[in-house]
A and B are shown apart, each in its own frame.
Chain A
Amino acid sequence: MNATRAYLPAVALLLLAGLIPVLVAANTVLNFIVFTLIIALAAQGWNLLGGFGGQFSFGHAAFFGTGAYATAILQARYGVNAWAGFAIGIALSAAVGWMIGYLSFRSGLRGSYFALVTLAFAEVFRILANASAFTGGAAGTLVRLDMRPENFQFASRAVFVWIALALVGFVLIMTIAIGRARFGAWLAAVRENEDAARALGVDVLGVKLKAITLSAGVTGAAGALYVQYYLYLDANIAYGAWISVEALIAPIIGGIGTPLGPVIGAVTLHGLGELTKLFAGRIPGIDLVIYGALLVAAIAFAPDGIMGLLRKAQRRKDADKATDQNVTEGTL
């Protein structure tokens, strides 16, 4: 596939999404979009490690929370500029990712053992953040409301939509580029068969460490963005299992190991959740029921996610076209 064809759908989708805040001014809609984009970003991070590298993490909350807490605490306690705090938050999440990766990959943890270790790390972080005075304990941490661009706070929600879109778009393009680069091929080799990859001379530990560092940085950016938008954080938001689950379900629904998968998955899941809340709002928890049903359906009927279904349909169409051509050219 040539470069234009690889990047075009992603760029087109981003530009279209960028128009939404111009056309729609309702705060609930913009709220929904920002939240969905934050989830999409966290899921894009998970997808780099889990989808492309085949290392299933159950504890991406560890990175989301670190990005969020670092950004919040640096501002609230040390008066650091919000944008600098945002950057430091991403760097710290990446560092935590590298550390967890180093400890678990070096000792050869794979599959469900790796998943359990990441879950344990996230839980330990949650308990520590809930108990420590440094993070504000159970009362949480507030970022002071001061709506100025230099504080990474904006009176208009539309600006947040664009910033979130820019981040999601940046990671989307980075992911497509990785998929086409040598690093992407090595990641796929590690995912497909670690022993064979090693015998081919792939530095398996190095590839995995690079992947988890990058992955953690991206999910950390989602956490940092979350805190700038909601200006409040506690341990259950930052390190809670909810975000670990969101980060892995969106790629599974959307299409694991595809660049667009996590974004499509997040939009589908939360879009459906919102719609059911809107139309069946009087039945409490109905959106969660839809959520569960969708997950079961996805695993049963579309193990490659929505992207997998689209690709299959495209292939069928191409095959039909080829048949038609053969018929008209008289070769069949």
Chain B
Amino acid sequence: MLEVENLVAGYGGADVLRGIGLSVSAGEIVAVLGANGVGKTTLNRAISGLIRPSSGNIRFLGYDIAGKGPPAIVAAGLIHVPEGRRIFPNMSVRDNLILGSYRRGKPARAANLERMFALFPRLRERTGQLAGTLSGGEQQMLAIGRGLMAEPKLLILDEPSLGLSPLLVEEMFSLIGRIAADGLAVLLVEQNVIQSLELASRAYVMENGRVVVSGAAADIAADPALKHAYLGL
């Protein structure tokens, strides 16, 4: 579904990604792990078109999307939920969700809203509330729900557990599992190694803008030397 080859990207001439390759198949959860500053967020931004890669290929559902803008990439069915819960603070929960649905047109909107409220009952209770007044966990749910309103085929989640209490982290991961069970592919970029490896089927470990280890999540989780060398566990 998503194939990334030799991707090089960065900011203002300084390369952060130095030839990354990875793939995600339909219905699969793939984790991208690594410490702070190895280029995980840059990878997300390059795939979703927020920054323009300087070289390399990104293919999504057979289309070449490298260098395309976010409107085209979103329209193709790839949604990126950026880190730090970038919600629209002065809009109601409902309006936040509806803003996610505009690329899908009006007919599907009501059904999608209902789907989100079923998935996130907390958001239903807070429909009319300003999004900025939600708790951190609720804001993260809103950000994910807003992404799902566009009916993506691949969802990229950047640090969804960032800044959440341990209990909420647990809830967040089980939720991501439930979303993927509906057939949606998820590229999960996380610092929470243990939980991510439990949830994902495969994982990539990044260091210095490259993939240093890749394989089945269970194998990586079972290799203490590997975890110690790259993931600080």
Task: Please list the residues of chain A having a beta carbon within 8 angstroms of any beta carbon in chain B.
Answer: 182, 185-186, 188-189, 192-193, 195-196, 198-203
Contacts and interface: CB of A to CB of B under 8 A. Distances in A.
B91 interface: yes
B88 A188 contact: yes
B204 to A, nearest CB: 22
Given A188-B91, A192-B91, A199 B86 contact: yes
Given A182-B102, A185-B99, A189-B99, A199 B48 contact: yes
A196 B82 contact: yes
A186 B91 CA distance: 12
Interface string B149-162: 01000000000000
B50 A199 contact: yes
B102 to A, nearest CB: 6
Contacts of A200: 70, 74, 79, 99-100, 102-103, 146-147, 150
Contacts of B95: 185, 188
Contact of B82 (A199, A201, A203): A199
B163 interface: no
Contacts of A202: 70-71
B90 interface: yes
30 contacts: A185-B98, A185-B102, A186-B102, A188-B88, A188-B99, A189-B88, A192-B91, A193-B87, A193-B89, A195-B50, A196-B82, A196-B87, A196-B88, A196-B143, A198-B50, A199-B50, A199-B79, A199-B80, A199-B86, A200-B74, A200-B79, A200-B99, A200-B102, A200-B103, A200-B146, A200-B150, A201-B70, A201-B71, A201-B103, A202-B71
Interface in B57-88: 69-71, 73-75, 79-82, 86-88
Contacts of A195: 50, 82, 86
A193 B81 CA distance: 13
A192 B74 contact: no
B153 to A, nearest CB: 14
A182 B81 CA distance: 21
What secondary structure prevails in chain A residues at the interface with B? helix
A195 B87 CA distance: 10
A262 B22 CA distance: 53
Nearest to B102: A182
Interface of B: 48, 50, 69-71, 73-75, 79-82, 86-91, 95, 98-100, 102-103, 143, 146-147, 150
A150 to B, nearest CB: 45
Task: Report which residue of A185, A186, A196 has the largest number of chain B beta carbons within 10 angstroms of its beta carbon.
Answer: A196
A256 to B, nearest CB: 12
Given A185-B102, A193-B87, 6 more contacts: A195-B82, A199-B48, A200-B102, A200-B147, A202-B70, A203-B70
A201 B103 CA distance: 8
Contacts of A186: 102
Please provide the 3 A-B residue pairs with the shortest distance between their CB atoms, ordered closest to farther. Answer: A201-B74, A196-B86, A192-B88
A272 to B, nearest CB: 29
A278 to B, nearest CB: 40
Contacts of A185: 95, 98-99, 102
B158 to A, nearest CB: 9
A195 B50 CA distance: 9
A185 B81 CA distance: 19
A192 B91 CA distance: 8
A212 to B, nearest CB: 19
Contacts of B71: 201-203
B41 to A, nearest CB: 12
Contacts of A182: 102
A28 to B, nearest CB: 42
B149 to A, nearest CB: 9
Contacts of B80: 199
A199 B79 CA distance: 7
A32 B87 CA distance: 44
B70 A198 contact: yes
Contact of A199 (B70, B89, B98, B103): B70
A193 B102 contact: no
